[in-house]
Amino acid sequence: MSIKNIEAIRMDFPVLHQKVHGKPWVYLDNAASGQKPLPVINAISEYYLKYHSNVHRGVHYMSQLATDKFEAARKTVQHFLNAEHDHEIIWTTGTTEGINLVAATYGRKFLKEGDEILITGMEHHANIVPWQMLCEEKGCVLRVVPVLENGTLDMASFYELFSDKTRFLSVVHVSNALGTLNPVKEMIKHAHSKNIPVLLDGAQSSCHFAIDVQDLDCDFFVFSGHKVFGPTGIGVLYGKTEYLEKMPPYKGGGEMIETVTFEKTTYAGLPFKFEAGTPDIANAIGLAAAMDYIHSIGWDVMEAQEKFLLEYATEEILKIGGIKLYGTSPEKCSVLSFLIEGIHPYDTGTILDKMGIAVRTGHHCAQPLMGRFCIPGTVRASFAFYNTKEEVDALISGLKRIKTMFL
Ligand code: C6P
């Protein structure tokens, strides 16, 4: 069932109420970035209008107010992830930086020649390239869990790929290109039975359901603010204290030091050891506002609407005929990846845009996955809780029209 107060919720998102090419804008590119509700926009402008100052530095009133709000935002993230401590929350610029940070600090310090890093065949480039760079530098080896035809992981291979050289597992929680929700608890349990730490790429999970890092028992969890209806340019790395404490700093500069002399520098404790320079104060506060907004709507409401939209869209798209879906796992989130037989995804996306419908086309920064399916890319419609049945209907009738134009 579609949620009843959807129109009231949509009023919180002014950006949705526009026309594109003369048609009501239908935004179905939420996996690329979520839209921002008014409380997020207001929290950011309030910071600049009323109390902008640098944090952790000033004795003056506004600096202390900014510091309080900034550190309160860290606590909001702590509760959002159910992390045990607020010092386990490290501000980053996004998922990409979080993974690079772990590869460049934990990886450089603890991995050596011949060690194996395990990822999966459905990773975003952000969870491939940093590990490849580490492999090039240290002589480590990247191992990849294959993806089955329905877009799920080949779990038999997952178990077989562990060797006495496996040292790290880095896996996407929900695939951006297929929507697959991976069995990460099972994977983490197995890795831990061999004392192997696990990083979860939560870029596409953190916007669809509640995350509990203690229940997942992951050692690292990374996500981007802009996908959880917060601002761009801010993200989070969660790490267990035991790992963060033994990792060296990522960047050097102000904020991350305890004492500096020309002979030697000692580093600050957590979380500041990983936060060199003036942080993104406004966007940290904006991200906390996004999390408060999510809780004000309720995950149950959001999940119910997204489940309804995905099921309805899947049913309706299959009725059209001549359309192949990529990613048909029974466990999946709000992504519909597909190709109309005989029509290039770019053409489909361009014509949909002319109809006012925004989707993403191409490889979705997951080129190896596209290679696995022997396709150049897909058309991807991705839903958020503020999307409506009518918007799915617009997509379906648009696809029907495109089919008649080409065939
Ligand atoms: N995926 C998409 O359209 P950044 O760019 O750092 O905020 O997020 C990178 C990233 C990492 N992992 C996954 C699973 C992702 O989906 C993304 C971002 C967007 O699918 C933009 S490429």
The domain limits of the chain are: 6-30+298-405, 41-295
Looking at 140, 207, 333, 365, which residue is catalytic? Answer: 365
The Cα 268–Cα 271 span in angstroms is 8
Which residue out of 28, 29, 184, 204 has the highest number of ligand 1 atoms within 8 Å of its CB and is therefore the one to mutate?
Answer: 204
CB-ligand 1 contact for 176 (6 Å cutoff): yes
Cα angle value 67/72/78 (rounded, 5°): 135
Does residue 204 line the site of ligand 1, with CB under 6 A? yes
Which portions of the chain are predicted below pLDDT 70? 1-4
Ligand 1 atom closest to residue 224's alpha carbon, by position in its atom list = 7
Rounded to the nearest whole angstrom, what is the distance from the C-alpha of residue 4 to the centroid of ligand 1?
A: 31
Report how far ligand 1's centroid is from the alpha carbon of 265 (Å). Answer: 35
pLDDT score, position 4: 61
Ligand 1 centroid to residue 151 C-alpha, Å: 18
Told to judge if 365 belongs to the known catalytic residues of this protein, a careful annotator would answer yes
- What CATH architecture does domain 41-295 belong to? 3-Layer(aba) Sandwich (3.40)
228 lines ligand 1 (CB under 6 A): no
The verdict on the CB of residue 364 being under 6 Å from ligand 1 is yes
Query: If you measure from the C-alpha of residue 100 to the centroid of ligand 1, how many angstroms do you get, rounded to a whole number?
Result: 13
pLDDT for the residue numbered 407: 72
In this prediction, residue 324 carries a pLDDT of 98
What ligand 1 atom has the least distance to the C-alpha of 95?
A: 6
182 lines ligand 1 (CB under 6 A): no
The two three-digit tokens of residue 268, written as one number: 């600050």
Provide the pLDDT for residue 396.
98
Identify the CATH homologous superfamily for domain 6-30+298-405: Aspartate Aminotransferase, domain 1 (3.90.1150.10)
Q: Is the CB of 224 under 6 A from ligand 1?
A: yes
